[in-house]
Structure 1
C-alpha cells in the first residue's frame, strides 16, 4: 500500500467542505491537532446519514475502536478545506475509514487519518453484522482493489 503522503484528491470518493474558524487555530496559528478528529467525525457521519440511512434512532451504532492521523503541512484560519473520504477496509461488522484533509484547490493532502468503527446493537453493545443499506453505502467508498480484498 502506498504512503498516505502520496495520496491525491482522486484517491477519495466522497467530499465535504469545511470553512476553518478562528477558534480552530492553536497558539502556533495553525489548526489544532484535535480539530482534525472533529473533521474526520464530521465527514464520516455526514456520509453515514446521507448515503447509508443511519439515523439517531437506528438499531445499530458505530463505536470507534482505533484512530490515527499523519500531518504533512500546516493549515490555518481562514482557509477552506476539502475533506475526502474512502473506505480502506470493510469487514462484516467493522469498517476502517481514511480521510484526507486538503487545502481548497490543492490535490495533495495536508493530513491523512481516520478511524475504525465496529457496529454494535444499540442496546446490548454486542457486535453485529452491518445492515444491508449500511454495507452497500460503505462498499461504494471502496476502490476496485479494496473491493477485491474485502471479498477474501
Structure 2
C-alpha cells in the first residue's frame, strides 16, 4: 500500500521506543507522526524551532490514532504526512505509518493545529506563505 500524502520519511524503531511486550509503545506512534510533520512544516517554510523568531506558535488541540498492525522492534517504518483540512486559523494534519519493507499500513491518525500569535497566545490566521505552500503541494485543500 502506498500513501497519497505529500511528504514522508523513514524512522528506525529503536529499542527505547518499545514497551515491555516488545512492540512500539502506543504514544510513540504519535511521536513519529509529529516528528515527520515537523520536518514537512520546515520544508513548507515554517521554522518554529526558535519561538523568538517564528512567525507563529502552533498549538496541538486534538490528536487521535488508529492502530492497525503491530510495529515490532528492529524494524523501520515509513511515516507519511500531509493536511486534510485548512481553516482560517487552524488546520488538520494527518499521518500514516507503513512497514518500510512490505508497505503494510500500521497506523493512521491526525491532529488539529491552531496557529497562535507568540506574544498574545491568541489564534491568528495561518501565515499566508505557509498556506500557499500547503496548497501548492495539496491543491485539493482549496476546495
- TM-score with structure 2 setting the length: 0.90
> Secondary structure in 2 aligned to 1:95?
strand
Aligned to 1:107: 103
* Structure 1 residue aligned with 2:87: 91
Find the aligned partners of 2:139 and 2:70 in 1 and give their Cα distance.
28
Q: How much does 1:85 deviate? A: 0.8
1:39 aligns with 32
1:137 maps onto 2:130 in alignment: no
Q: Where in structure 1 are there 5+ consecutive unaligned residues?
A: 1-7
Conserved? CA contact 2:3–2:96, under 8 Å: no
**Alignment RMSD (CA, Å):** 1.6
Query: Within 5 A, what are the aligned runs for 1:115-134?
Result: 115-134=111-130
Secondary structure (helix, strand or coil) at the match of 2:130 reads: helix
- TM-score, normalisation: structure 1: 0.85
Name the structure with the higher helix share.
Answer: 1
Which runs of 5 or more residues in structure 2 are unaligned? Answer: none
Q: How many residues align?
A: 140
Q: Provide the rounded CA distance (Å) in 2 between the counterparts of 1:48 and 1:117.
A: 12
